[in-house]
Structure 1
Amino acid sequence: MGVKMQRIAVVTSGGDAPGMNACIRAVYRAGAHAGVEVYGIRRGYTGMIEGDIYKIERRDVGNIIHLGGTMLGTSRSDEFRTPEGRQKAADRLLENRIDGLILIGGDGSFKGGNYLSEETGIPVIAIPGTIDNDIPGTDFSIGFDTAVNIALESIDRIRDTAISHGRLFFVEVMGHTSSFIALEAGIAGGAAHLVLHDGHEEIEELCSHLETLFTRGKHHAIVVIAEGDQPGCSFGIAKKVSNRIQMESRVCVLGHTQRGGSPTSRDRVLAAKLGVCAVNALLNGQGGVMAGEVMREVVFRPISEVVGKQRETDPRMAVLSQILTGY
């Protein structure tokens, strides 16, 4: 027997990701289908603390499924990191008679949502929305597929110039703590070498590999680099490599271009599935869990089991990249 809920709220927090709007739309439609009022919280946890909460109407989610970013806005809140800040947020939710919360975000947002749920008893269902794809308990997070395809399109464009000029290019992609974008975009883009976030110091190996390729007759190359903890790190790597192998190079840092733009069909469908299942989970009495997708099936795991943990890359993908970049 489901728990009777009258009002639920949805919030996006932390970094934006393509597909968040599609998820908000799914949450609203699933709530409306179940006869539940759905409220939006603007500006993430900052808006929650300040009571920036409004009732979402059907027209609010019309024509947003194809838009990047988040119609609700987002932020990072230092105040929400404190118990006092979270209590303020809970008070605002209770004042608006919110019975349950759906949170779309990444690890930092999950940590705050988990504290909120444990400290106040407000049911929270978390949905992974981050281009980094670094949340355990799900095969993919909303926004990852779009980010990979944006990076891939850039790599394909850069290749035209690399071939024309016979030049070495270093393409830096996002991924603060993960290498998922670099790994998939690099493989799909036919990169000559991948520098993952834990391999920034392997300059000798990179130089040796490039020298071998050029000796075999290759006259251009693209190296894909995961930014890791130091965005812009590719400039230092490129300088060291160019000095060592005596070849002119160029650097292209894709940066936040990977976070914007229209979401792919894969991200839209994932957002729809997770949004609808999150609403159903709330209405069936669940709370303190994350909705993820594993082998195309929606699964739930306690938020406490995924926060602060890093999803590891598939070692088979690393082996695949080594085989494909070896010749």
Structure 2
Amino acid sequence: MSPNLLQLRLASILALGSILNTQGVVARGRGGSGIGKGIGDAIGTLDLPPIYTAVFALVIVIIIFTLSQFLRAIGRLRTPKLPPDTPPLPYQVGKLFPAFLLLYTLVFMVYNILYAVFVAYVWGDSGGFLPEGYSAGMSFVAQLSNVILLAALLAIIAYRERIQFNPAQSAFDLKSFLDGWLLSTVLILGIAADALEGIDSQNMAIAYQAFLFVASVDMIASAAMVYIRSQKSGVEDRIIRNMMFVVSPFIFFGALFRIIDVGITYNNRDPLFDYSALELAAVIITGVVSITVVEIALRMGAPPKPAKVKEGGSKRGFFGSRKV
């Protein structure tokens, strides 16, 4: 396993550990000091049930992680400055990918803020009420974030394929057009599910999740095809390799969970089933998938970092292996 892949997997494990440990931090907040105490006191005043206390705390952690990634994504909009004599091809990601990545982190962060407010008002002792249509609006923001993330990943795959194998390709690309049509269909189905009520809303929600799963598989298949093509051509593309072996498993896992989630939600007949546990699992899985995928994406095409200055020596240039 390469050092970069090992670092990324360790980062995902640490992110999961941080999220899972949040409830313990909040529980210890009243006996500690500083940020832990402040968060614990703030959540304690909401008087949430224990499981929704954990949900609320997890969402706050996700917001903090995503805010950090949003700020870093802003920097990715600038053209990276490469050290002299460094070939630019391994670092080129196009214009759509960083723009979509920035937009995704913003929309996903807004969704989690809306969801935190929803949990506080619905399950807490706030004494207030949410405006009509709040839940539908929150669902739309979540659906939009799912579509934007897949759009960003499909954009980087299409761009890397073009500059590696078809640099003279025209601006119009049928595959990209069909991908855009598929993602538009997913978003339209999500909007319809939010606008309708009763059984019609459920049917549209199932259709939305089904098409979102298809779009996720389409992204994975696109990465696989470009990777296989690069292997046959003897082209080493670190970005496509990481899309294939690091990003794709997380995307598939997230898509599979959403299918299972909607199946349980709309087909369960057990009146004693604890939906709050399913909601907690959804927050954890969604958070880990988003944080990990965005962290990997932020490293794609990033310029190499300068070597540390050794005592009694001088800089030895740049580590070319830092790119992802």
TM-score, normalization: structure 2? Answer: 0.26
Larger helix share, 1 or 2: 2
Q: Name the structure where strand makes up a greater proportion of residues.
A: 1
Q: If the length of structure 1 is used for normalisation, what is the TM-score?
A: 0.25
